[in-house]
Amino acid sequence: MTLLVTGGAGFIGSNFVLDWLAGSDERVINVDKLTYAGNLQNLASLAGDARHVFVQGDIGDASLLASLLAQHQPRAVVNFAAESHVDRSILGPGEFIQTNIVGTFNLLEAVRAYWGGRDSKAKTAFRFLHVSTDEVYGSLSKTDPAFSETNRYEPNSPYSASKAASDHLVRAYHHTYGLPVLTTNCSNNYGPFHFPEKLIPLIIVNAQAGKPLPVYGDGQQIRDWLYVKDHCSAIRRVLEAGSLGETYNVGGWNEKPNLEIVHTVCALLDELRPRADGKPYKDQITYVTDRPGHDRRYAIDASKIEKELGWKPAETFDTGIRKTVQWYLENPDWVASVQSGGYRDWVSKQYGEASAETTHL
Ligand code: NAD
Ligand code: TYD
């Protein structure tokens, strides 16, 4: 049996592939374009492992997808491939439309043609699992209940709007063509292999390099945080037992304001790798201009996946964030390797030329 995964060289996809092959001998075909966010070093431990077949390719390339599906005959496709960073989507939404919307459409078309040609047993067993985000639901006030699967879609950034569009396409392929789809909408992930443009790895990496720790606006925006391996276990569970056409919200019941996250990371670094001058890392916190249209609060009600599929996260925020900080301290080579020229260009656009120079990212 074979699984085809897209975007499996990125943060969540690579964790998924590694965890999958740690628990199963089912082969994984991994199709990834290797944008700035895709890094084969994440999968270095699989070198020479015949169960993992890596193919550099675009989910928008319908003929490549058609030939891979025909050749490997997967029993499921798990779609992680996406442009995933909100700030990049604000500076340049075009790639988000191409990959997240047009790319997902082309992938769905290739999968529909492949699935339509299978025998009835293989057709019934087939699954297309689309990995999405809680950001499609928009922003909550402090007192609103957490997002449930029946919340209206109210995306506010080009990133979340493009993910919302892809979710709708996936839904439509089920209702119109009967494609056996599943969708997961997860909250903010953190953990190993997280690209250091996102809040938690950026804070860890900047703190150690003696650079400013940029907090947008007042730092009181709230996110729900889930350790990446718990997201991966939720995806495995939905793939195994989810009801066709259903969506599942995935979250850790860990709502925290950004400033608290930054303070927690700083305190862990003070403990595990104290500054040479004995001062606390929190002294490096710098308030910077807020993100345009910044969503104030996300919160996930994960009771559906917990009740119907019996899934629960294994990590608390305290255990997960400690593991994460430790991983970054133990893997400076990985951090150095992902900080390529392309990444430095992005930092200078986002934080300004001067800050790019002073932050040396
Ligand atoms: P990421 O940016 O780290 O990785 C994305 C991967 O997709 C990269 O390896 C990249 O090379 C690849 N890719 C991009 N465009 C492609 C294309 N056209 N064809 C093939 N591959 C392409 O993202 P991530 O954080 O790992 O997120 C994975 C998925 O999970 C995304 O769909 C994202 O929307 C969703 N998600 C992320 C989070 C989070 O907190 N990171 C939370 C919920 C949902
Ligand atoms: P991010 O990791 O980009 O994830 P998302 O925007 O998908 O939630 O950001 C998490 C939160 O941290 C978000 O509210 C924006 C904020 N943030 C900062 O305050 N400073 C930063 O440098 C970054 C990258 C994010």
**Domain regions of the chain by residue span:** 2-190+226-251+298-315
Tokens coding 196: 């250091």
Ligand 1, atom 43, residue with closest C-alpha: 133
How far is Cα 173 from Cα 180, in angstroms, rounded to an integer?
A: 8
State the pLDDT at residue 349.
79
- Residues paired with 255 in a beta bridge: 224
Instruction: Tell whether the model's pLDDT for residue 361 goes beyond 50.
Output: no
Q: Is 194 in the pocket of ligand 2 (CB under 6 A)?
A: no
User: If residue 270 lies in a helix (H) or strand (E), which one and from where to where?
Assistant: helix 258-272
Packed helices 199-208 and 258-272: angle between N→C axes, nearest 10 degrees: 40
3-state SS class at 224? strand
Catalytic site includes residue 154: no
Counting ligand 2 atoms within 8 A of each CB, the residue from 132, 223, 231 with the most, and so the one to mutate, is: 223
Number of H helices, E strands in the chain: 15, 12
- Topology of domain 2-190+226-251+298-315, per CATH? Rossmann fold (3.40.50)
Catalytic site includes residue 134: yes
Summarised one tens digit per residue, pLDDT across range 153-205 is 999 999 999 999 999 999 999 999 999 999 999 999 999 999 999 999 999 99
Catalytic site includes residue 308: no
Summarised one tens digit per residue, pLDDT across range 105-145 is 999 999 999 999 999 999 999 999 999 999 999 999 999 99
Identity of the residue numbered 343? Y
Catalytic residue among 134, 197, 255, 306: 134
- Kindly list the strands in the beta sheet with 188-190, ordered across the sheet, starting from the edge strand earlier in the chain: 188-190, 222-227, 255-257
Average pLDDT over residues 332-356: 73
Among residues 163, 192, 159, the alpha carbon closest in space to that of 104 is found at 163
Residues lining ligand 1, judged by CB closer than 6 Å?
6-7, 9-13, 32-35, 37-38, 58-60, 80-84, 99, 103, 131-133, 163, 186, 188-189, 195
Instruction: Tell whether the model's pLDDT for residue 358 goes beyond 90.
Output: no
How far is Cα 108 from Cα 265, in angstroms, rounded to an integer?
A: 40
Give 240's contacts (C-beta < 8 A, 6+ positions apart): none
Give pTM, 2 decimals.
0.96
Which residue is listed with tokens 């909100």?
A: 86
